[in-house]
């Protein structure tokens, strides 16, 4: 009995967000058994509940990639040092984060190996072998894997030494085609994050300073967390022909001329899970968007010892499973209904279905929404269809709630004082001259780097928020994870 009481105390305590947002996040990911700390510094162990979310993200993203003509491959995790050095800007960008393999068994290697931080060099090496003529293009490949970047400061899901991701790498015949691919995949990410994760984002182009090492241009989607900080939720890069020239990736054109290919790269990672938690969670724990919730509906028998209750709950479970709803019947003995309510609320299950003797006698069940805590009854007849529709309503409500928060915490700014005030709890949108010196000064003074240049927005002023000189572009600033 004492053991259960201790467990209940453990489940119940979560630091309020407004007291310590960082500790709240840590409490939530540990107490919901999403993740645990690994014995290796900066690494995480993704537990079944957390990994189930990643599997759902992977499945639905992979469907989108294949629908746009991409195929999956797998590259080795080791990269010879000589390959990495072929593209100098790329090497310089990753040098501080690289993990090296120097020995194989007891023997020192003739050439050091890098544990992949990203795979441009490997893909380009293979593309140089595989691409012969224009008939081979475009070559649209993606891989699901882990990468290693030796981060100094780590936090599970958000920034770890090793993390899971996908990296798309494509080759094209022209600069126009590679730019179209870069923007198309950014659009795929935006659609997925908003329509599956219920997470509103701003899409746009990164500054020269903030672009990916070795890229011609980088585009990103940026989400706002509940503490006002930005999370770079996905990136898409246009490399032009830079890597192709370094790795001699060429093709024979229709005119019989040898031409360099144009490359793109794009990726999202397990940091999306951290985004889900920080965009939607509350003091009771997780609040899972229905389309990636490992359990979409939990069924709790009330007075399960009474005749017909457990059987009725099992029948409802079977019907929901047939309809494709991810459902869990919690018929554990020795736990009170209140304790189960608390646990499943903490795990963020979108819908709780209570099945009691009175409800069954009336042909209904009691339903509670995790997002609003609204409680109401639904007929057992047609319950699967009603819950399916309810999941869409929950998704829409979660998205609109997050969008409203982002809009309320995004301010147009016209000078440094306004910018500094805005980024304390949100995004600042201001004019910039395009000079890196101003970009560096803004980050130094406010702690907020540039995020991206929004699309389709008109200028809000003529001068730079920092130096007062003529402005070139409208850009977002925010503190970041």
Q: What is the DSSP string of 130-165?
A: H--BGGG--EEEEEEEEEE---SS-BTTTB-SEEEE
127, 139 contact by CB (below 8 A)? yes
Which pLDDT score is estimated for 152?
86
User: Per-residue b/e over 349-379, b at no fewer than 16 CB within 10 Å?
Assistant: bbbbbbbbbebbeeebbbbbbbbeeeeeebe
Three-state SS at 115: strand
- What does the pLDDT read at residue 96? 83
Question: Closest by alpha carbon to 241, among 336, 332, 124, 130?
Answer: 124
Using an 8 Å Cβ cutoff, are 240 and 143 in contact? no
- Residue 59 neighbours by CB under 8 Å, 6+ apart: none
Q: What is the pLDDT of residue 7?
A: 40
- Please give the model's pTM, rounded to 2 decimal places: 0.94
Report d(CA 388, CA 281) in Å as an integer.
22
Give the residues of the chain that fall short of pLDDT 70. 1-12, 90-91
Beta carbons of 157 and 274 less than 8 angstroms apart = yes
Return the pLDDT at 313.
96
Per-residue pLDDT, 146 = 97
User: In the prediction, which pLDDT does 304 show?
Assistant: 75
Q: CATH class for domain 12-280?
A: alpha beta
Which residues fall within 8 angstroms of residue 114, CB to CB, at 6 or more apart?
78, 79, 80, 81, 84, 98, 99, 100, 101
Contacts of 244 (CB under 8 A, 6+ apart): 124, 171, 250, 260, 261, 262, 263
CATH class for the region spanning 410-477: alpha beta
Q: pLDDT (tens digit, 9 = 90+) per residue, 69-108?
A: 999 999 999 999 999 888 777 667 777 889 999 999 999 9
- Rounded distance between C-alpha atoms, residue 202 and residue 222, angstroms: 5
Q: Of the CATH numbers 3.10.270.10, 3.30.565.10, 2.30.40.10, 3.40.50.800, which one belongs to the domain with range 295-390? A: 3.40.50.800
Residues in a beta bridge with 30: none
Q: How far is CA 3 from CA 6, 8, 9, 10, 388, in A?
A: 5, 9, 10, 11, 38
Q: Given this model, what pLDDT does residue 10 score? A: 38
Q: Per-domain residue ranges for the chain?
A: 12-280, 295-390, 410-477
Sheet containing strand 327-329, strands side by side:
327-329, 297-301, 351-355, 364-369, 375-379
Query: What DSSP state is assigned to residue 207?
Result: P
């Amino acid at each position: 009995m004492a053991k259960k009481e201790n467990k209940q105390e453990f489940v119940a305590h979560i630091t309020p967000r407004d007291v310590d947002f960082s500790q709240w996040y840590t409490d939530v990911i540990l107490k919901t058994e999403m993740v645990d700390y690994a014995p290796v510094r900066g690494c995480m162990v993704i537990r079944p509940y957390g990994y189930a979310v990643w599997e759902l993200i992977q499945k639905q993203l992979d469907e989108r990639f294949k629908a746009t003509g991409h195929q999956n491959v797998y590259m080795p995790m080791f990269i010879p040092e000589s390959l990495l050095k072929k593209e100098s800007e790329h090497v310089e960008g990753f040098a501080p984060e690289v993990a090296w393999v120097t020995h194989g068994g007891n023997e020192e290697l003739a050439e050091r190996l890098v544990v992949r931080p990203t795979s441009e060099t490997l893909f380009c090496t293979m593309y140089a072998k595989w691409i012969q003529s224009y008939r081979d293009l475009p070559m649209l490949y993606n891989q699901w894997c882990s990468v290693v970047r030796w981060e100094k400061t780590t936090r599970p899901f958000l920034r770890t030494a090793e993390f899971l991701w996908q990296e798309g790498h494509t080759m094209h015949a022209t600069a126009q085609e590679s730019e179209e691919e870069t923007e198309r995949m950014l659009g795929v990410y935006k659609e997925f994050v908003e329509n599956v994760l219920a997470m509103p984002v701003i899409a746009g182009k990164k500054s020269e300073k903030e672009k990916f090492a070795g890229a011609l241009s980088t585009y990103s989607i940026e989400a706002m967390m509940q503490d006002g900080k930005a999370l770079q939720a996905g990136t898409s890069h246009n490399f032009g022909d830079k890597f192709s020239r370094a790795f001699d990736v060429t093709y024979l054109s229709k005119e019989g001329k040898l031409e360099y290919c144009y490359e793109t790269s794009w990726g999202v990672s397990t940091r999306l899970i951290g985004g889900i938690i920080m965009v939607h969670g509350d003091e009771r724990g997780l609040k899972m968007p229905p389309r990636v919730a490992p359990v979409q509906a939990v069924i709790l028998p009330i007075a399960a010892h009474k005749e017909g209750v457990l059987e009725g709950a099992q029948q409802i479970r079977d019907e929901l499973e047939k309809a494709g709803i991810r459902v869990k019947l919690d018929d554990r003995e020795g736990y009170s209904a209140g304790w189960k309510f608390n646990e499943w609320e903490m795990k963020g299950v979108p819908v709780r279905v209570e099945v009691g003797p009175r409800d069954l006698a009336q042909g209904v069940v009691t339903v509670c929404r995790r997002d609003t805590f609204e409680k109401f009854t639904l007929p057992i007849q047609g319950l699967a269809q009603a819950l399916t529709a309810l999941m869409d309503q929950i998704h829409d409500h979660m998205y609109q709630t997050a969008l409203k928060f982002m809009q309320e915490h995004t301010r147009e700014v016209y000078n440094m004082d306004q910018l500094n005030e805005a980024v304390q709890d949100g995004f600042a949108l201001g004019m910039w001259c395009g000079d890196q010196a101003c970009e560096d000064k803004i980050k130094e003074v406010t702690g907020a780097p540039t995020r991206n240049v929004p699309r389709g927005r008109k200028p809000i002023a003529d001068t730079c928020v920092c130096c007062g000189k003529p402005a070139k572009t409208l850009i977002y600033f925010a503190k970041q994870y």
